């Protein structure tokens, strides 16, 4: 059984032909960007536009995923669709689907259009980019980050890998922030949600603490919780955030 969907309205004729089926997508050549035991990412240029093609050969770390639950590729494209539905800027999803053989996951893929003129925040940190010292620029990005993180968590959803490398920002003085690459994001409840929320916030602070002032980080947190000052519960949560990766860095 094979299911493949194209957002045909977002593609020109050449791209529709190139991405017409899973067979066509797995036959594509492109620039290798990343690879792991489950998947590979290619950057493909068609006409004047570039696309990221993520092809999965495995369902997930748990071998039972081949038979039960959502394969990792399905989780990833559904999470991108959640972001779009919640008003969180993300890479445009233009193709997605998977194939099963004998009821078992065999392969799958998703395609996103390139976000032109963007850089991930981690790359800015590695390059010691001057924008990280611009209070106005940092405040604008921080406000967007607080909003999108709060929106996710308000839906009982956590990213589970909310690192600076998965946040793309537009070049220029009025940046838009985009959230990408979320195959491990899931919905949670109760104490499981509280733990995962702390993990998301700790992932963000893991790099922020080396590049942003304490006051910038505090303003982000207050913006996230939408309060003018900390209350007792906030102080306890901040201690958990700061200690989350203790001994693991």
Class of domain 118-243: mainly alpha
Domain ranges of the chain: 2-113, 118-243
- pLDDT given for residue 104 in this prediction: 84
Mean pLDDT of the chain: 93
The structure's pTM equals: 0.92
Rounded CA-CA distance 35/122 in Å is 19
Which residues on adjacent β-strands are paired with residue 23?
A: none
User: Strands (DSSP E) along the chain, which ranges?
Assistant: 2-6, 31-35, 39-46, 49-56, 93-101, 104-113, 118-120, 157-158, 167-170, 177-179, 186-187
Task: Report the percentage of the chain scoring pLDDT > 70.
Answer: 94
Rounded CA-CA distance 56/106 in Å is 9
User: Quick one: average pLDDT of 39-65?
Assistant: 83
Q: Tokens 């990343």 appear where?
A: 34
Rounded to 5°, angle at Cα 20 from 18 and 25: 65
- pLDDT given for residue 173 in this prediction: 77
Class of domain 2-113: alpha beta
> pLDDT by residue (tens digit) across 59-90?
555 555 555 567 889 999 999 999 999 999 99
> pLDDT by residue (tens digit) across 96-147?
999 998 878 889 999 999 999 999 999 999 999 999 999 999 999 999 999 9
């Amino acid at each position: 059984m094979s299911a493949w969907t194209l957002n045909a309205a977002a593609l020109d004729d050449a791209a529709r032909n190139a991405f017409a089926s899973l067979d066509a997508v797995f036959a594509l050549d492109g620039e290798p960007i990343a690879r792991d035991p489950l998947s590979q990412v290619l950057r493909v240029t068609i006409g004047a536009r570039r696309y990221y093609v993520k092809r999965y050969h495995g369902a997930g770390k748990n071998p039972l995923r081949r038979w039960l639950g959502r394969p990792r590729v399905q989780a990833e494209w559904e999470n991108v669709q959640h972001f779009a539905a919640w008003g969180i800027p993300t890479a445009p999803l233009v193709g997605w689907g998977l194939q099963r053989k004998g009821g078992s996951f065999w392969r799958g893929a998703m395609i996103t259009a390139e976000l032109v003129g963007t850089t991930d925040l981690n790359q800015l940190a590695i390059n010691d980019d001057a924008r990280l010292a611009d209070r106005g620029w940092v405040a604008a990005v921080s406000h967007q980050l607080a909003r999108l993180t709060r929106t996710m968590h308000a839906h009982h959803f956590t990213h589970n890998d909310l690192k600076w490398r998965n946040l793309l920002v537009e070049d220029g003085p009025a940046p838009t922030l985009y959230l990408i690459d979320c195959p491990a994001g899931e919905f949670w409840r109760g104490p499981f949600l509280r733990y995962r929320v702390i993990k998301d916030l700790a992932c963000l602070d893991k790099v922020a603490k080396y590049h942003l002032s304490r006051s910038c980080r505090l303003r982000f947190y207050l913006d996230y919780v939408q309060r003018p000052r900390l209350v007792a519960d906030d102080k306890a949560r901040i201690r958990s955030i700061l200690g989350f990766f203790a001994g693991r860095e």
